[in-house]
Amino acid sequence: MFGTTLMLAFREIRRHLMRSFLTTLGIIIGVSAVITMVTLGRGVTADIEEQISSLGSNVFFVFPIQGERGQFRPFDEDDVTAVREQIAGVKSAAGQVDSNVVAIYNGQDWETTVEGVSGEFMDARGIEMDVGRRFTEAEETSGANVCIIGPTVQEELFLTGESPIGERMRLNNVSCQVIGVFASRGSVGGGGDEDNSVFMPLTNVQRRFTGNDNIGYMAVSYDSAYDSATMTNALVDLMRERRVLLEGQANDFDIVDTAQINETVQSTVGTMTIMVAAIAAISLVVGGVGIMNIMLVSVTERTREIGIRLAIGALAKEVRLQFLTEAVVLCCFGGLVGMILGFVFSYSLAGALGFPFIFDPFINILSFVISALIGILFGYFPARRASQLDPIEALRHE
C-alpha cells in the first residue's frame, strides 16, 4: 500500500510540476540557507583556528593599556628581561615595536610597517624563514642596518623576481641590507596583512624610527608543562610589582593568551552561526506554511477525486496517508534540492571568500530530516481535512 501511495504522490506532483516547484521553493531556500550558513561558519572557524595557531602556541601577548587614572606606561627592555629571568617556565620573552614607514627599492615606493624584533621574538611567534638568515646576536646588540622582509614586501618591491638577498633598500631615510625573507604568517582575523612587514633589530628601530626605548608589546612563550592560568598569575604579579600598582588598582596592562583568543573567537563564530542558521530556519517554517496552503488548495481541487476514492472503499486513513505522503514527498524533494543548492552555494562562497570548505554531514542530514518533519507537520491538517470529507458531498462537488 505504501509503495502505491508513494507512486500516487509522485504522479500528482509530476502533474503539477511548476506548482510543486514553487510550493517547495520556501523549503529549498530554507534548507540551502541553513546548510550554507552552517558550512561557512565551520569554514570560518577552521580558518580562524589556523590563523590563531599561526600566532604560535603557548604564547602570551602582553600589552600596556590605559590605567585607571588615564596613565599609559609602555614597557621597556627591562620588563622583558624581568619576565624572562624571574618567571619559571618562560622559554622566551621578547619585545616588539613598530612604526609605519615607506619602503623604497629601485625607485618603487611601498607603504609598510617596520617591526623591531629579535630572534627570540621570532621563536616566540613561531615565525619561520623563507629564504636567507635571521639576525645574528651581534647585529641585534649593535642594531645593525639589516632587515628581513615579509612576502608581501618582496612581491611589491622586487618586481622582476630577483632574489632580494644582499640588496639594499630604504625605509624612510634609513638604508638597510636585506638578509632574508620570512615565511608567510597569514592574516589574523582580518586585521591587515601580517606579511606586509619589514623586520629590523629592535634597538635599531627604537633608535632610528621611534626614538625611545619603549616597546609595543611582549611575546612570552612558555613551556607546555606549565598551565596557562599559573603562567598568567605569575605574569600579572610580576608586572603589577614592577609597575607599582597598589592593591585595588586595576591592571594597566593586558595579557592575551592565544588559547583564550581561540576559544573566544570560536564561541563567537559559533553563536553567530547558530543565530544566522536560526534566521534561515524561519524560512523553513514559512516554506511549511506554503506547503500547507497548496495542499489545502489541492484538497479542495480534488474533492471529487477524494469522493470517488471514498465511495470505492478507501478508508479515511488511506486518503489521509495519500495526502500526507504528497506533502512529505514535496518537502523531501525541497530538502534534497536545498541540500544540493546549499552545497553549491557554500562551496562557491567558501572559495570566493577564501575560507576552507568543510562539508558537514550532520547539518545536511538534519536539514533533510527537518524538511520531512515539516511535511508531516504542515501536511497533516490538509490530509485530515481530505480524509474527513463526506463521500456523498464530495461526489456532488463541482
Partner 1 sequence: MSEQPIIELKGITKTFGEGAAAFQALKGVDLSIKRGDFVAVMGPSGSGKSTTMNILGCLDVPTSGVFKFLGTEVQSLNKDQRSLLRRRYLGFVFQGFNLLARTTAVENVELPLLYRGEHKAERREAALRALDRVGLRPWADHTPAELSGGQQQRVAIARALVTDPEVLLADEPTGNLDSERSIEIMEFLSELNGQGITILMVTHEPEMAEFAKTIVHFKDGLVERIENGARNHAHAGSGVNG
Q: Which positions lie near partner 1, rule CB under 8 A?
A: 1, 4, 15, 304-305, 307-318, 391-392, 395
Q: Taking the complex as a whole, how short is the minimal distance between the CB of residue 23 and partner 1, in angstroms?
A: 19
Closest by Cα among 359, 356, 326 to 340 = 359
Write out the H or E segment, with its range, that includes residue 51. Answer: helix 17-53
Q: Taking the complex as a whole, how short is the minimal distance between the CB of residue 391 and partner 1, in angstroms?
A: 5
Q: How far is Cα 223 from Cα 238, in angstroms, rounded to an integer?
A: 18
Query: Residue 316 carries which side chain, given as an amino acid letter?
Result: A
Q: Cβ closer to partner 1: 22 or 392? A: 392
Q: Cβ closer to partner 1: 165 or 314? A: 314
Q: Cβ closer to partner 1: 2 or 362? A: 2
Q: Cβ closer to partner 1: 122 or 321? A: 321
Q: Taking the complex as a whole, how short is the minimal distance between the CB of residue 28 and partner 1, in angstroms?
A: 26
Q: How far is Cα 136 from Cα 114, in angstroms, rounded to an integer?
A: 18
Q: How far is Cα 248 from Cα 112, in angstroms, rounded to an integer?
A: 41
> Hey, how many other C-beta atoms are within 10 angstroms of the C-beta on 84?
16
Q: Cβ closer to partner 1: 262 or 325? A: 325
Q: Is 211 helix (H, G, I), strand (E, B) or coil?
A: coil
Q: Cβ closer to partner 1: 88 or 311? A: 311
Q: Is 150 helix (H, G, I), strand (E, B) or coil?
A: coil
Closest by Cα among 200, 212, 116, 193 to 153 = 193
Q: Cβ closer to partner 1: 128 or 393? A: 393
Q: How far is Cα 188 from Cα 197, in angstroms, rounded to an integer?
A: 14
**117 exposure class (CB count in 10 Å sphere: 0-12, 13-18, 19+):** buried
Write out the H or E segment, with its range, that includes residue 181. Answer: strand 174-182
Phi-psi region of 186 (alpha: psi -120 to 50; beta: other; left: phi over 0): left
Closest by Cα among 335, 319, 327 to 296 = 327
Q: Taking the complex as a whole, how short is the minimal distance between the CB of residue 296 and partner 1, in angstroms?
A: 20
DSSP annotation of 381: H
Q: Taking the complex as a whole, how short is the minimal distance between the CB of residue 322 and partner 1, in angstroms?
A: 10
Q: Taking the complex as a whole, how short is the minimal distance between the CB of residue 300 and partner 1, in angstroms?
A: 15
Q: Taking the complex as a whole, how short is the minimal distance between the CB of residue 361 and partner 1, in angstroms?
A: 36
Q: Cβ closer to partner 1: 4 or 141? A: 4
Query: Residue 239 carries which side chain, given as an amino acid letter?
Result: M
Please give the backbone phi and psi of residue 135, each rounded to the nearest 5 degrees, phi first: -70, 145
Q: Taking the complex as a whole, how short is the minimal distance between the CB of residue 279 and partner 1, in angstroms?
A: 40
